[in-house]
Structure 1
Amino acid sequence: MTHLIRSTMKHRLFLFDLDDTLLDFKASEKLSFVRTMQQLGLHEAVDGLFLQYQAINTALWKSFEMGDVSKDFLKVERFRKAFQSQDIQLDPEAASRLYLESLPETVVLIDGAEQLCQTLAGIGEVGIITNGVESIQSRRIASSGLSEHISFVATSESSGYAKPDVRFFEYATQMARSFAKDTSIIVGDRLDADILGANRFGIESCWFNPDGLPNESDARPTYEAASLHEILPSLRELAAA
């Protein structure tokens, strides 16, 4: 079956974003945040604090991707700002440490992730491209059960650059067994990092968009998928077009 699928597809290198593409980071994030607050002795008003944390975290990650802050700064600052916003007297460094320790223990797979990676690994090569914390991402991938299907993991820490910087994708594709732009594709949920990066690098892309969000950006995906189950048939249709 895999051989038959392979013969009908043009892609051989599949570069997947990790969080909210293969792993449900939103679910893991909430579980880890609540666990961290409980360990620190905070049991009330955690939901409101979490919403504040998310907004701060998103803004800091955008600053990191623009090269304005370091990842080490981000990891602690998001908790410091969240605690400050609610006048909560907790140690942001302890919160950061406990939270990062918890993330690999709260891995949740997005439906269809393992089957898709297994099939694509039989067709070509699956690589992970992530701006996440390298040590944590490695442990999360190991906990997910996806490791055997993944050929390599490229992180912003190891490359020195973050998505959507073209130099990140140059670094990532050098890790592949073989690489050609016309037989490679990036799959990710973020227009501003994954899809824009693919546009700048000059390879095709699939925007994983389960929430049906409108594209109001300058990024232009080759196509879009509402579920991971749609990706394989879409790649085959793309090859036949």
Structure 2
Amino acid sequence: MPRRPVAEPSPPGLGFPSRPAAGRPGRGGRAARGQRLALFDLDDTLVDRRAALAATLMRFADRHHLTAEQHGAVLARLGERAAISDFQAIRTLYGLAAPAEELWTAYLADMAALSVCPAEVLDGLDELSSRGWRLGIATNGPADIQHAKLEATGIGRRIHGVGASGPVGFRKPDPRLFAAAAVSCGATVEDGGWMVGNDPVKDIHGGRLSGLHTLWIGAPSRWPAHLQAPDQYRSTALLAVRLLLDGTS
């Protein structure tokens, strides 16, 4: 029988190593002994991709005079991921005059402008970094759109590295994506750490395969019964960050 996610735990039981001296490590350098690693999923964990996508494609539909049915079809097509090839197909399907490169560039700009990371989460990332954590992003998606969102939201200024499936060549839950994300932070998964995300398979199962502790963003009652449960859970990214902070207070 798969074990269920644990109830809201007391932070001292997490088994964190002792707290290092405060001060943010240099970006890209090798993690010092005792520093901790936390990898975060980006879409629908640190930023609300669904809301940003809905607003972006409403702009797209208005800009190109799509019908409600066409708008719905585009939203369904781009629901999980988007690439310039999608806009090549959309351009052909709906007879749009703008070249695919222009459509893609506008999509990137709108997604970045409409993506938001709550200020409290950004503050929490700052605090984690000041306590010696190495912070990284492990995300499925092309580098251009993911980096655009990271910079627009302010997350990019608070992390040490990014592992994006486009340039890495592997997608979560492949352990090689998590390993690449850790290396980009100057760390290794062999040294341990945490993976925080909202997808049971891509984030939590993949993180566990990589040897990381796992922290799921979701309610225990919604955890798929056929999967091994995460080490911890919280309902929001803010509470997840606070859990990590409480473990190093």
TM-score for the superposition, normalised by structure 2: 0.72
Q: Is the 8 A contact 1:11 1:184 kept in 2?
A: no
Pairwise CA distance, 1:89: 4.8
Residue in structure 2 matched with residue 187 of structure 1 by the alignment: 196
Residue in structure 2 matched with residue 56 of structure 1 by the alignment: 77
Residue in structure 1 matched with residue 137 of structure 2 by the alignment: 128
Q: Is the 8 A contact 2:204 2:214 kept in 1?
A: yes
Alpha-carbon separation, structure 2, partners of 1:173 and 1:23? 20
| Closer/same/farther in 2, CA of residues 53 and 182 from structure 1, 3 Å limit | same
222, 226, 232: which one aligns with 1:213: 222
Residue in structure 1 matched with residue 24 of structure 2 by the alignment: none
Q: Which amino acid aligns with 2:200?
A: L
150, 155, 163: which one aligns with 1:154: 163
Residue in structure 1 matched with residue 51 of structure 2 by the alignment: 27
Pairwise CA distance, 1:216: 4.0
Residue in structure 1 matched with residue 31 of structure 2 by the alignment: none
Name whichever of 48-57 and 231-240 sits farther off: 231-240
Residue in structure 2 matched with residue 67 of structure 1 by the alignment: none
- 1:67-86 to structure 2, matched below 5 A, reads 72-74=84-86, 76-77=88-89, 79=90
Higher relative contact order (CA 8 A, sep 6+): 2
Q: Is the 8 A contact 2:173 2:206 kept in 1?
A: yes
Matched, 1:13 2:37: yes
Matched, 1:163 2:172: yes
213, 227, 233: which one aligns with 2:236: 227
Alpha-carbon separation, structure 1, partners of 2:189 and 2:44? 26
Alpha-carbon separation, structure 2, partners of 1:26 and 1:239? 32
Matched, 1:36 2:45: no
Q: How many residues align?
A: 218
The unaligned stretches of length 5 or more in structure 1 are 65-70
Matched, 1:106 2:114: yes
Residue in structure 1 matched with residue 181 of structure 2 by the alignment: 172
| Closer/same/farther in 2, CA of residues 76 and 117 from structure 1, 3 Å limit | farther
Pairwise CA distance, 1:236: 6.2
Q: What secondary structure is seen at the aligned counterpart in 2 of 1:194?
A: helix
Name whichever of 88-97 and 12-21 sits farther off: 88-97
Pick the structure with more helix per residue.
Answer: 1
Residue in structure 1 matched with residue 27 of structure 2 by the alignment: none
Alpha-carbon separation, structure 2, partners of 1:56 and 1:216? 29
Q: Is the 8 A contact 1:13 1:185 kept in 2?
A: yes
Alpha-carbon separation, structure 2, partners of 1:177 and 1:55? 38
Alpha-carbon separation, structure 1, partners of 2:118 and 2:64? 29
Q: Which amino acid aligns with 1:38?
A: D
Q: Which amino acid aligns with 2:197?
A: G
Q: Is the 8 A contact 1:40 1:95 kept in 2?
A: no
Residue in structure 1 matched with residue 127 of structure 2 by the alignment: 119
Q: Is the 8 A contact 2:161 2:185 kept in 1?
A: yes
The unaligned stretches of length 5 or more in structure 2 are 1-15, 21-33
| Closer/same/farther in 2, CA of residues 192 and 147 from structure 1, 3 Å limit | same
Q: Is the 8 A contact 1:192 1:219 kept in 2?
A: no
Structure 1 residues 33-92: Cα deviation after superposition (integer angstroms, max 9, x where no partner): 0111111123x52xx555444443357x5xx9xxxxxx5545645x47xx96xxx55469
Alpha-carbon separation, structure 1, partners of 2:152 and 2:70? 28
Alpha-carbon separation, structure 2, partners of 1:221 and 1:238? 17
